[in-house]
Homo-oligomer: A and B are copies of this chain.
Amino acid sequence: MFNTFGRFFTVTTWGESHGPAIGATVDGCPPGVPISEAAIQPWLDRRRPGQSKYTTQRREPDAVEILSGVFGGQTTGHTIQLMIRNRDQRSRDYSGIAEKFRPGHADITYWQKYGIRDHRGGGRSSARETAARVAAGGLARAVLGELIPGIQIRGALVQMGPHGIDRSRWDWATAEENPLRCPDAAAAERWADYLDGLRKSGNSCGAMIEVVARHVPAGLGAPVYARLDTDLATACMSINAVKGVEIGTGMAAASLTGVENADEIRLGHDGRPEFCSNHAGGILGGISTGQNIVVRFAVKPTSSILAPRKTITKSGELTEIVTKGRHDPCVGIRAVPVGEAMVACVILDHVLMHRGQVGENRGTIG
């Protein structure tokens, strides 16, 4: 009801930023899929904090333990429990702000609703929860690898603060090499300077992430509610700090005419339908077209900043707040593997639902 994501392949996350552990309880996974902690760990390593000066200096090994649902190196078809212990919970960092609400942060609403102020950190609203998503995503990727060989799900940062990229320079390898996950090497340098400046002034910035899924078969999704685009939007909007999500041309589709927006159809060399453009982002009427699936989401700037902001205390007094702690100047960077993980979970969920309801695609062309 509250902490579960997915329809058939479901992921229930648990754990707080400063408790003993966090994790993901995964249900609906097919049996017989080879999996191990070693296969999931690299995805967690991609998200792990403390890897560059641009991310929080909290040191967490983020080692995943599989507690159930795997036997003899294969999934059993039963609940898979993925646990990650918290190691470096330096609670004292938060002591200065325990009675104040951080502007732009969940502090105040969390307090109003639950009557709880977890002075050790954000409690359940901490972005640390996303490590559990990445673990579940690693599992989803393994299952997808069995069911749809060749599928590829990758993400990159396409905007940092006001700075975008030149899409003609897009290079996936570049995105892996630089700590900012920027696919445009020239932009990456500018971004680094910008971020250094922000960091030194105790400020932070927002970012835009793009996740692309290649070789997703046509036919996944449904026309209403269980739409593939809806579920991708749900997945991305459920990530902390995300304020917007779009598919294909996205918000810019508002500006287009029908003539411009129509992705014309032709036949490819293999005799299969092919689209001359991809404004649709790989999804028409909620169902995948076989083109690349393209999802973008915007992450707001970290609200825990050193620059002083006006706020109030729990007892209702006006004050100023300065948040020390160890925070990412741009949480968008670490949101890349999180977005990838969510897209992987959504696609797997739809692969299983499709198999359950339809079996195999029923319509042929040509």
Contact = CB atoms under 8 A, between A and B. Distances in A.
Most interface-central of A110, A205, A218, A259 (chain B CB within 10 A): A259
A361 interface: yes
A289 B218 CA distance: 36
A14 B19 contact: no
Nearest to A25: B25
A365 B101 CA distance: 11
Interface in A152-181: 159-162
A80 B3 CA distance: 10
Interface string A228-271: 01100110011010011111111111111111111111110001
A158 to B, nearest CB: 9
Given A79-B13, A298-B252, A103 B230 contact: no
Given A245-B233, A301-B261, A161 B267 contact: no
Contacts of A159: 254-255
Contacts of A225: 2-5, 13, 238
Contacts of A353: 1-2, 356
Nearest to A250: B244
Interface in A266-298: 266-267, 271, 273, 275-276, 279-281, 283-289, 298
A218 B107 CA distance: 13
B229 A237 contact: yes
Interface residues of A, number: 159
A240 to B, nearest CB: 8
B318 A224 contact: no
Taking the full assembly, how many copies of this chain does it contain?
4
Contact of A78 (B3, B352, B364): B3
A182 B147 CA distance: 48
A15 B65 CA distance: 13
Interface in A1-47: 1-5, 7-8, 10, 12-16, 19-23, 25, 27-32
B204 A258 contact: yes
A186 interface: no
Interface string A352-366: 111111110111111
15 contacts: A1-B28, A2-B27, A3-B27, A15-B81, A16-B76, A31-B115, A31-B362, A104-B263, A110-B223, A111-B363, A123-B223, A203-B257, A259-B307, A271-B316, A276-B310
Per CB-CB distance, the 3 closest pairs between chain A and chain B, nearest first, are A106-B285, A356-B356, A316-B366
